[in-house]
Copies of this chain bind each other. A is one copy, B any other.
Amino acid sequence: MCEANAYLIENGTEQLVLERVDKVIPGQKDIYLENIFGERKVLAARIKELHLVDHKIIMEKIPPADAAD
A residues within 8 Å of B by Cβ? Answer: 1-4, 21-26, 36, 46-53, 55, 57
Q: Which 4 A-B pairs have the closest CB atoms?
A: A2-B2, A24-B50, A22-B53, A3-B52
This chain: copies in complex: 2
Q: B residues within 8 A CB of A51?
A: 22-23
Q: B residues within 8 A CB of A55?
A: 2
CA gap between A41 and B25 in the complex, in Å: 21
CA gap between A27 and B31 in the complex, in Å: 16
B49 close to A4 (CB less than 8 A)? no
A47 close to B47 (CB less than 8 A)? yes
Q: B residues within 8 A CB of A22?
A: 51-53
